[in-house]
């Protein structure tokens, strides 16, 4: 990699021709995959990568899993390269502003960078603990960056008395799982009724709760944390709950979700806010009026995009696979004529590994009103749960049954009926759909029902199944 930490270099191609300067802000998974796609597809203009982290792009999923277990060092998580990326790399350099009229990105401590086209791929950061004094205590961690994971791993190696995890979403649950696997005492505190409810709904949340308790986690749901308290030396000593209970702990991991990295876009005129940067299905950013821009693109965790399969609602996903697929679509659309633009129609998918179980998901489980265990056995923790909304299948989640995922992906793309009509392998005898207990089904929109057809990215298109009710 021709990395030039901190400074603008000329790149390998001299002064670029007009219309030939692409700048990517955010040198993470989406930024790197977009850059690779641009070069692989024959883009020969000037490419500038701006990233505020100083090292080369790395993979985040191992940080809450293999890194904490000591299986992979945090510094060995660099993303594999699909091809050489000839670019000017401005690493350790934060973008602080965007001037759409002048077509420049402002940088912290460096000259503005001009662009003809811009890709925004600045992702998320961990939501910090709300009290800065508590957050600053020695022993309080979060896990978003490789440095975070490395620091927490070192503290776990030292053998803390008790780890308290604030938040039982995927990251918090994976951290709790790693701690239990290391033989550490762990308390998980969750404001909702069960772990993973925000992503999978209450039915699977209860199963996740059983898994945690069976693994020895002291899981407390329906509680909120009042304060993180330290001793006179500034070391974490106690976690005070809103019900007055106090838990003695020397490590707390704050896993209370994430904030979109959009502050640098304030005042730019783009439709950017706390929920991300809104864009169309072709990854082009909306301006603040909701009008699509021509040359500003968005990809990855920071993007909010309409998905035809989900009533054209703007989805904001925090999925590894989505970051890659959206980056590839954005890169393609940056360089092609209007008639050859592709929609980003990837069915959302993610995975997690926790408490010895491989959890995988396709579709959007929260876009549902019902769920049914359609294959396997909850008791054995090997099953497929299908989610439906208004009589069509919208998602499937597997616990140690990943081989079925592609089949359900096909059903979701075809807007197949829910409950599924086929005689499934291993269908439980008490099969019946129940309410999926997702956090707020009332906010679901009622767009038209569509199906996705075609296989190659150029062919994939939406067809109408039935108009909006
Ligand atoms: C601990 C952890 C575990 C995960 N596990 C899974 C999993 O098991 N399965 C799954 O599907 N997904 C998982 N994910 C999610 C997955 O890693 C993300 O979806 C993916 O990293 C998103 O890529 P991105 O490029 O959009 O954002 P990021 O990877 O966050 O990259 C964005 C980059 O932009 C930089 N940046 C931000 N602001 C600026 C600025 N102003 N100027 C310059 N640079 C800036 C950031 O520092 C960062 O380097 C996990 C994430 C974490 C944190």
389-426 pLDDT, tens digit each: 999 999 999 999 999 999 999 999 999 999 987 666 77
**Which pLDDT does position 1 carry in this prediction?**
43
Calpha distance 132→51 (Å, rounded): 26
176-196: average pLDDT = 97
- 128 versus 432: which is more confidently predicted? 128
pLDDT at residue 13, rounded to an integer = 42
Determine the average pLDDT of the residues in 255-273.
95
Sequence-separated (6 or more) residues with CB below 8 Å from residue 430: none
CA of 27 to the centre of ligand 1 (A): 9
The atom of ligand 1 lying closest to the CA of 352 is 8
Probe target for ligand 1 pocket from 23, 106, 261, 405, with the most ligand atoms within 8 Å of CB: 261
Q: What is the pTM of this model?
A: 0.92
pLDDT digits (tens, 9 = 90+) for 83-128: 989 999 999 999 999 999 999 999 999 999 999 999 999 999 999 9
pLDDT reported for residue 454? 84
Q: Is the pLDDT of residue 254 over 60?
A: yes
User: Tokens 């925090």 — which residue?
Assistant: 318
User: Is residue 19 over pLDDT 70?
Assistant: no
- The CA dihedral of 322, 327, 333, 335, to the nearest 10 degrees, is -170
Residues 309-352 pLDDT 10s:
998 989 999 999 999 999 999 999 999 998 999 999 999 999 99
Residue whose Cα lies nearest atom 7 of ligand 1: it is 61
Supply the pLDDT for residue 465.
72
Nearest CA to ligand 1 atom 20: 320
Per the listing, tokens 């790197």 go with 32
Q: What is the pLDDT of residue 443?
A: 52
DSSP 90: E
Quote the percentage of the chain above a pLDDT of 70: 92
Q: Ligand 1 — pocket residues by CB below 6 A? A: 25-31, 50-53, 60-61, 63-64, 94-95, 121-124, 143-144, 171, 261, 264, 300-301, 318-321, 323, 350-352
Residue 446: pLDDT band with limits 50, 70, 90: low
CA of 228 to the centre of ligand 1 (A): 27
**What is the structure's pLDDT at 447?**
59
CA of 29, closest atom in ligand 1: 25
Residue 26 Cα, ligand 1 centroid: separation in angstroms? 9
Give the mean model confidence (pLDDT) for residues 363-387.
Answer: 95
Task: Give the model's confidence band at 468: pLDDT under 50 very low, under 70 low, under 90 confident, else very high.
Answer: low
Distances (CA, A) of 18 to 12, 14, 203, 280, 334: 16, 13, 55, 26, 15
Angle at 320 between CA 318 and CA 324, to 5 degrees: 115
- Please report the pLDDT score of residue 297 as a whole number: 98
Higher pLDDT, 236 or 12: 236
The protein residue with its alpha carbon nearest to ligand 1, atom 53, reads 144
Tally DSSP H helices, then E strands, for the chain. Answer: 8, 31
State pLDDT tens for residues 125-182: 999 999 999 999 999 999 999 999 999 999 999 999 999 999 999 999 999 999 999 9
Instruction: Summarize pLDDT for 36-84 with one digit per residue, the tens.
Output: 999 999 999 999 999 999 999 999 999 999 999 999 999 999 999 999 8
- Listed in sequence order, the residues at least 6 apart from 380 whose beta carbon sits closer than 8 Å to its beta carbon are none
């Amino acid at each position: 990699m021709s990395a030039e930490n901190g400074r603008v270099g000329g790149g390998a191609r001299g002064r670029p021709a007009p219309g030939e300067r692409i700048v990517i802000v955010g040198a993470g998974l989406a930024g790197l995959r977009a850059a690779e796609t641009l070069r692989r597809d024959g883009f020969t203009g000037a490419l500038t990568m701006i990233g505020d982290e100083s090292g080369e792009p790395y993979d985040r999923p191992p940080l809450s899993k293999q890194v904490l277990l000591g299986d992979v060092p945090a510094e060995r998580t660099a993303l594999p390269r699909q091809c050489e990326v000839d670019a000017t790399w401005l690493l350790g350099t934060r973008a602080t502003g965007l001037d759409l009229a002048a077509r420049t990105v402002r940088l912290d401590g460096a000259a503005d960078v001009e662009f003809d086209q811009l890709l925004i791929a600045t992702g998320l950061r961990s939501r910090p603990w709300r009290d800065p004094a508590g957050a600053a205590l020695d022993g309080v961690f979060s896990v978003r960056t490789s440095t975070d994971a490395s620091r927490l791993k070192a503290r776990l190696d030292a053998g803390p008395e008790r780890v308290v995890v604030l938040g039982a979403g995927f990251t918090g649950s994976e951290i709790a799982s790693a701690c239990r696997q290391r033989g550490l005492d762990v308390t998980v505190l969750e404001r909702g009724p069960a772990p993973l409810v925000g992503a999978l709904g209450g039915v699977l949340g209860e199963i996740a709760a059983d898994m945690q308790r069976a693994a020895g986690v002291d899981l407390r749901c329906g509680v909120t944390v009042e304060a993180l308290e330290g001793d006179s030396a500034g070391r974490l000593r106690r976690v005070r709950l809103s019900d007055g209970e106090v838990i003695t702990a020397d490590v707390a991991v704050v896993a209370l979700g994430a904030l979109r990295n959009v502050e640098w876009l304030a005042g730019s005129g783009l439709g950017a806010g706390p929920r991300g940067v809104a864009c169309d299905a072709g990854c082009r950013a909306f301006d603040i009026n909701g009008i699509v821009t021509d040359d500003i693109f968005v990809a990855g965790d920071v993007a909010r995009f309409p998905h035809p399969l989900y009533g054209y609602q703007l989805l904001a996903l925090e999925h590894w696979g989505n970051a890659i697929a959206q980056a590839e679509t954005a890169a393609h659309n940056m360089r092609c004529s209007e008639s050859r633009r592709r929609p980003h129609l990837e069915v959302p998918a993610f995975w997690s590994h926790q408490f010895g179980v491989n959890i995988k998901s396709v579709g959007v489980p929260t876009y549902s009103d019902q769920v049914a265990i359609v294959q396997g056995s909850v008791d054995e923790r090997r099953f497929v749960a299908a989610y439906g909304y208004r009589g069509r299948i919208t998602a499937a989640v597997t616990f140690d049954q990943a081989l079925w995922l592609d089949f359900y992906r096909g059903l979701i793309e075809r807007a197949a009926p829910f409950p599924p009509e086929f005689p499934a392998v291993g269908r439980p005898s008490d099969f019946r759909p129940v309410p999926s207990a997702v956090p707020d089904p009332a906010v679901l929109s009622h767009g038209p029902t569509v199906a996705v057809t075609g296989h190659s990215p150029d062919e994939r298109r939406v067809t109408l199944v039935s108009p909006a009710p």
